[in-house]
Structure 1
Amino acid sequence: MIIKGSLYIIPTLIGDYDKKYISNELQNAIKNINYYLVENEKKARRFIKFIDPKKNQNILNIKIISKIRDLNFNDLLEPCKSGNHIGLLSDSGCPGIADPGSDVVLSAHLRNIEIKPIIGPSSILMAMMSSGLNGQSFSFNGYLPIKEKQLIDKIKFYESKSKKENQTQIFIETPYRNNKLLSKLIETLSPKSMLCVASNINLQNQLIITKKVFLWKKTKIDINKQPTIFIFSC
């Protein structure tokens, strides 16, 4: 009887690639896995080569997550049925957390394939733990609406929710719209609400600032096209 392979959920380093952040578990996984489901093939190959420079890239079997809906999950997970492990990789941070991959993991569960998550960085959690805001109750809300009226309404909705439930609210934005979102948050939130901006986490130009909204009105920063997490709490 063939023993099933496992689905390894492999976090990708965020910020600067540095060997000091690589665990033995991560090294062993990359060394022993040749089947991958990834967000971006070029970035995945770069990461795999960084972790294991001697690994033969020609033997890698890589499929793109964004194309999975057009494929059959049975085919995608077939290597596991044959006793091979599969690695799930996103471009940065943890697969399935504000990144593609949850459909793959659920499909593996439904097929009784063992899931093996590897410890690694999440910019959302790193921002949250660096914000100083309530970490006992918090909500990640993804992206806010683009249209101004809907954006303002959503900000007010989440601010009200934060106040009623004492819950920290977390958001991300497409990097080229960061400055616009920051301006709208400062303009819309109550002056005494706390706002954290966590940008370029784990990079040399990292910026993490938490202060009351009325103080943000006196602060000038440029986070255009910089990966950023926005957090606020009443």
Structure 2
Amino acid sequence: MDLAVALYIVPTPIGNLGDISSRAIDVLNNVKLIACEDTRHSGKLLSHFGIETRKTALHDHNERDRADWIIQKLSNGEPVALISDAGTPLISDPGYHLVSAVRAAGYEVTPLPGPCAAITALSASGLPSDRFTFEGFLPSKEKGRFDKLTALKEDPRTLIFYESPHRIVQSLESFLAALGEDRQIVMGREITKTFETFLSGTVAEVLEIVKNDPNQQRGEIVLMCHGHRSAKDDEGIPTEVVNTLKLLVEELPLKKAAAIAGQIYGIKKNALYKYGLEIGL
């Protein structure tokens, strides 16, 4: 295939190699150069798919210098691809300075859709997905984590974070200290891989599971947190209705429980269903 001269942003699998797209393979085969976060790591992926295109390293420490060299390649009529170790480049990965420089130099930047751990995890979390914010990795030090989470405490959007396995217990403890033990969270681990796991519940419940199971302290982790709910969010839904809905959900799917509770109390079932989703029923 003939490619236009551009910088191609190419997502790669976050675990399951079957998630790479045919278009991604075509682009990686036909560009003149692939900029990789780690050439050794990406070399294994490219070798698996028989891609022999020349590679160069582009990471946090050399990105600004390497950008000028890549722009020179584009000026010579050579299309270039950017990949990260896994997932969509620039999402908590290098590439921002390169993309900015390429655009400033007047060259096209062409993104391909594909795997992203944050979005993949959110889609299966059961948390509200109409509004969310991706916050990347939390600070490594306890005070920094606490301050960051405290600043987000009243944000009504679903909060999404990446976390490393060796720090997951400490981060959950920071969630507990800053947001309280009853905030609903979901932890997605090893998404698309053999040992994919989702844990959901209150901060206190998930922390207890993770502390007592070393297997939950391994692999790639996405932490998702329900946004802040103010008192006015629950106006119009009396406590007795909420309690009935919670009882029904113990035996029935939420949609059916909302319909029954709505019929009993004369409240729209869609409103109850939405409320149930928001509080994690």
User: Structure 1 length as normaliser, TM-score?
Assistant: 0.85
1:146 maps to 2:136: no
String of CA shifts for 1:95-131, please: whole Å, max 9, x gaps. Answer: 0111111111111111121111112100011111111
Q: Is the 8 A contact 2:58 2:66 kept in 1?
A: no
Higher mean Cα deviation, 113-122 or 218-227?
A: 218-227
Aligned residue for 2:56?
A: 62
String of CA shifts for 1:171-219, please: whole Å, max 9, x gaps. Answer: 1223321222123324543233111101100011001122223433553
Q: Following the alignment from structure 2 to structure 1, what is the Cα–Cα distance between the partners of residues 96 and 184? A: 31
Aligned residue for 1:178?
A: 168
What's the secondary structure of 1:42's corresponding residue?
helix
Distance 1:10 1:156, change over 3 A: same
User: Structure 2 length as normaliser, TM-score?
Assistant: 0.72
1:23 maps to 2:21: yes
1:94 maps to 2:79: no
- Structure 2: gaps (5+ residues): 229-281
Higher mean Cα deviation, 211-220 or 142-151?
A: 211-220
1:9 maps to 2:3: no
- Structure 1: gaps (5+ residues): none
Q: Following the alignment from structure 2 to structure 1, what is the Cα–Cα distance between the partners of residues 200 and 124? A: 9
Choose the corresponding residue for 1:224, options 217, 221, 227.
Answer: 217
What's the secondary structure of 1:77's corresponding residue?
helix
Q: Following the alignment from structure 1 to structure 2, what is the Cα–Cα distance between the partners of residues 157 and 42? A: 39
Choose the corresponding residue for 1:190, options 175, 180, 184.
Answer: 180
Distance 1:94 1:168, change over 3 A: same
Q: Following the alignment from structure 1 to structure 2, what is the Cα–Cα distance between the partners of residues 37 and 88? A: 5
Q: Following the alignment from structure 1 to structure 2, what is the Cα–Cα distance between the partners of residues 131 and 198? A: 8
Q: Following the alignment from structure 1 to structure 2, what is the Cα–Cα distance between the partners of residues 147 and 27? A: 40
Q: Is the 8 A contact 1:131 1:209 kept in 2?
A: no
Considering only CA atoms, is the larger Rg found in Structure 1 or Structure 2?
2
Aligned residue for 1:71?
A: 65
Distance 1:70 1:101, change over 3 A: closer
Q: 1:194 is aligned with what amino acid?
A: Q
Q: Following the alignment from structure 1 to structure 2, what is the Cα–Cα distance between the partners of residues 150 and 47? A: 36
What's the secondary structure of 2:153's corresponding residue?
helix
Q: Following the alignment from structure 1 to structure 2, what is the Cα–Cα distance between the partners of residues 225 and 159? A: 27
String of CA shifts for 1:12-37, please: whole Å, max 9, x gaps. Answer: 1111323xx23221121111123121
Q: Following the alignment from structure 2 to structure 1, what is the Cα–Cα distance between the partners of residues 151 and 61? A: 34
Distance 1:178 1:28, change over 3 A: same
1:22-41 alignment runs, 5 A limit: 22-41=20-39
Aligned residue for 1:46?
A: 44
The alignment-based identity, stated in percent, is: 23
Distance 1:4 1:119, change over 3 A: closer
Q: Is the 8 A contact 1:186 1:216 kept in 2?
A: no
Q: 1:212 is aligned with what amino acid?
A: T
What's the secondary structure of 1:131's corresponding residue?
coil
* Equivalent residue pairs, number: 222
Q: Following the alignment from structure 1 to structure 2, what is the Cα–Cα distance between the partners of residues 10 and 197? A: 26
What's the CA shift for 1:74? 2.7
Q: Is the 8 A contact 1:4 1:80 kept in 2?
A: no
What's the secondary structure of 2:145's corresponding residue?
helix
Q: Following the alignment from structure 2 to structure 1, what is the Cα–Cα distance between the partners of residues 104 and 64? A: 19
Higher mean Cα deviation, 99-108 or 139-148?
A: 139-148
Q: Following the alignment from structure 1 to structure 2, what is the Cα–Cα distance between the partners of residues 45 and 189? A: 42
Q: Is the 8 A contact 1:201 1:207 kept in 2?
A: yes
Which protein, 1 or 2, shows the higher relative CO under an 8 Å CA cutoff with sep ≥ 6? 1
